[in-house]
Amino acid sequence: MKYAFYAVDRLEGTIAVLVSDSGATVQMPRVELPTGLREGAVLRVRFSAQNLPDWSSAVIDRQEEERRLREAKQMLDEMKRSDPGGDIKL
């Protein structure tokens, strides 16, 4: 069974904007996705025999969300430490 991850990029009213791991954006009505969805949540979605995402199978994967945030935060913290501080003249 093939699965893929979609991260919730943002919520715009009744629409959830998702980003696949290939970088493609998909708009989905929020009512068709698991309840309790929020920005940054990561959905694990099963693919059908036709190789299409089966949105009814979508579940929120908190571990994957935490892993991504942890990695991003590590990278950010490293970059933040390199900031020379103060005003900058270009």
Partner 1 sequence: MPRFTKSCVLTWVAWLLSLPLAAQQLEIHFLNVGQGDAAIIQEGGHTAIIDAGPSGIGVFLTTFHIDTIDLVIASHPHADHIGGMPELLQSHVVRFYLDNGIPHTTAIYRRTLDAVRASGAQYLNATNRTITLGAAQLHVLAPPPNTTINNGSVGILIEYGQFRALFTGDSEQEELRYWLASGAVPHVNVLKVAHHGSPNGTSETWIATTKPQAAVISVGAGNSYGHPSPVVIAAWENAGARVYRTDSDGTVFVVANEDGSFVITTDRAESNGVVRFQPFEQDSAVSPAAPVEAESPACCRVCSAGKACGNSCIARDRQCHKPAGCACNAKP
Positions touching partner 1 (CB under 8 A) are 7-10, 12-13, 15, 17, 19-23, 25, 27, 39-42, 65, 68-69, 71-73, 75-76, 79-80, 82-90
**Cα 82 to chain centroid, rounded:** 27
- 3-state secondary structure (DSSP) of residue 33: coil
Give the burial class of 87: count Cβ atoms within 10 A of its Cβ; 0-12 exposed, 13-18 middle, 19 or more buried: exposed
Q: In 10 A of CB 68, how many CB atoms?
A: 15
**Which CB sits closer to partner 1, 31 or 83?**
83
**Which CB sits closer to partner 1, 49 or 87?**
87
**Which CB sits closer to partner 1, 52 or 90?**
90
Shortest distance (Å) from residue 52 CB to partner 1: 19
